[in-house]
Chain A
């Protein structure tokens, strides 16, 4: 439960901010000038802050839409991402956000209209090219939806651009936003998935895998395109059996035509980010694994990555066509 909201003076009267004040009516409100005054400053402690994060309401001024890192996209010619929010209500141990920011407070940019304007401009600059816009790079796209209402606005916006795809990546089980309206064929709800017992250990505060699978199957049944994201792949004893069972469980009760795409990707960090995250959780078994560092990237190493990737590929090909399966390498 959020008990404190810091709000930039400039957006105090913004309708999104006003709506949030009403829905979090018991939270104390503190005015600030700019969110950078208190977010991601030196000497902040992510691990302690994560125990009681505050919500910061801010205005984003530039860089609304950015090219997606290579290896992040599915099969569009142009891939972009946007972040209406920084940080996440979940506390997944492998999450790169822990290493990216020194602050665990949530920053929500309330000027959604500027995001949509920038997306619209990008679409018009790239006519005749297939495009995908990814949400959920710096946050979970839906975990905060009940408070922010951002996805609902995004769905309305993308309804008018049927040739452009939107991916909402999530671990959330929020479904009303989708089930209360007709499906939009260019909006993919993509779920991050790991074997149940891996998620039970690592995906702190996130809905269980069974609940995520239930929701994604329900959305697919209701005509929504869904994405399956096995990313990052987590290595542990018996991982083959665990991933095999997970894939079987998902596919045995899903309308395969509604599976838009499936992707898998290895656990990887830039070296400095890995250093920062492991220093936050030095006792965590995930980080005591003897990782390999090569070319500034820390990973399980080529051998394990290849083994896991090949296994996932062949397991997935039992249920879906190769053209729907992608290997992500960010």
Chain B
């Protein structure tokens, strides 16, 4: 369906799904997020200028999936948006505070694996993550352990593409520093101490999001023709394809002039195609 989509007065670019308030607090500060409403099932924060939205899911993979869905529905989040799950994780070795991008997420209960995200390996270390139902205390494998990421990955990749779904984890507990000793304040501190690295990561993700947005963009002038003339869904698709070709071939072309003589969807499409055909003889590749 090629329809103009409406959002709640803001254009979301990055969606954060975070299990705990102490994990979310540094990001709320860093990105200057404000509570969206007091009357919601999940606490939601937003900065409508920068396009960051954040939901606090609670613990567990099904809650992470539900919260991601909630955020998607709340803001009618578009498919070029970046989704990020960040939080603390157990790991078999020090140092506490080390930030990783999880590029393989394995759900130990369902024995399913996900491979989320464009690998930001030039900026951050990559690691395998196991999502478990209960806090890991034995650290039996050389992987990260969390309780949310698999549910998040399963759902968020339905809303965007797999390469724009990111799982970032900060080591909070190890065999030397067990999970029982991790306080709320310590969690917040672990996120804060990675803020520079997080800003670098976000800057890269925003570039990917902007490129994807540009790729999927349907210009306003296209919708204006959809409103003015009767288009079937199939003709909408054909018009959009012809328009994109025409725009690429004639970036400075005036659409109104090309379409001036068209009085129906098929005539408009034909006008665009005819102008392209006339340009074949002098066709340039750039």
Contact = CB atoms under 8 A, between A and B. Distances in A.
B121 A3 contact: yes
Interface size class of B (residues with CB under 8 A): 35 or more
Given A4-B121, A289-B276, A48 B163 contact: yes
A51 B285 contact: no
B118 A237 contact: no
A178 interface: no
B66 interface: no
B281 interface: yes
Interface string A254-296: 0000000000000000000000001010111111111000000
Interface in B231-286: 241, 244-249, 273, 276-277, 280-286
Nearest to B273: A290
Contacts of A23: none
A38 B115 contact: yes
Interface stretch (B16-24, B27-35, B154-162, B177-185): B154-162
A284 B161 contact: no
B161 A234 contact: no
B87 to A, nearest CB: 21
A4 B282 contact: no
Contact of A48 (B125, B128, B212): B212
A149 B248 CA distance: 42
Interface in B98-139: 103-104, 113, 115, 118-119, 121-122, 125-126, 128
B215 interface: yes
Interface in A1-48: 3-4, 6, 28, 30-33, 37-38, 41, 43-45, 47-48
B284 A48 contact: no
A198 B286 CA distance: 10
A48 B283 contact: no
A283 B162 CA distance: 23
Majority SS at the chain B contact face: helix
B163 A287 contact: no
A202 interface: yes
B212 A45 contact: yes
A205 to B, nearest CB: 17
B162 A45 contact: yes
A120 interface: no
Interface residues of A, number: 38
A49 interface: yes
Nearest to B249: A288
Nearest to A280: B215
Contact of B118 (A28, A41, A49): A49
B157 A43 contact: yes
A52 interface: yes
A37 B113 contact: yes
A3 B121 CA distance: 7
Contacts of A45: 161-164, 212
B126 A4 contact: yes
Contacts of A44: 161-163
Given A4-B126, A28-B126, A37-B115, A286 B285 contact: yes
Contacts of A237: 281-284
B161 A290 contact: no
Nearest to B281: A237
8 contacts: A4-B119, A32-B104, A33-B113, A201-B285, A280-B215, A285-B248, A288-B246, A289-B245
Interface of A: 3-4, 6, 28, 30-33, 37-38, 41, 43-45, 47-49, 51-52, 54, 198, 201-202, 234-237, 278, 280, 282-290
Given A51-B118, A285-B249, 4 more contacts: A28-B126, A48-B118, A52-B122, A288-B276
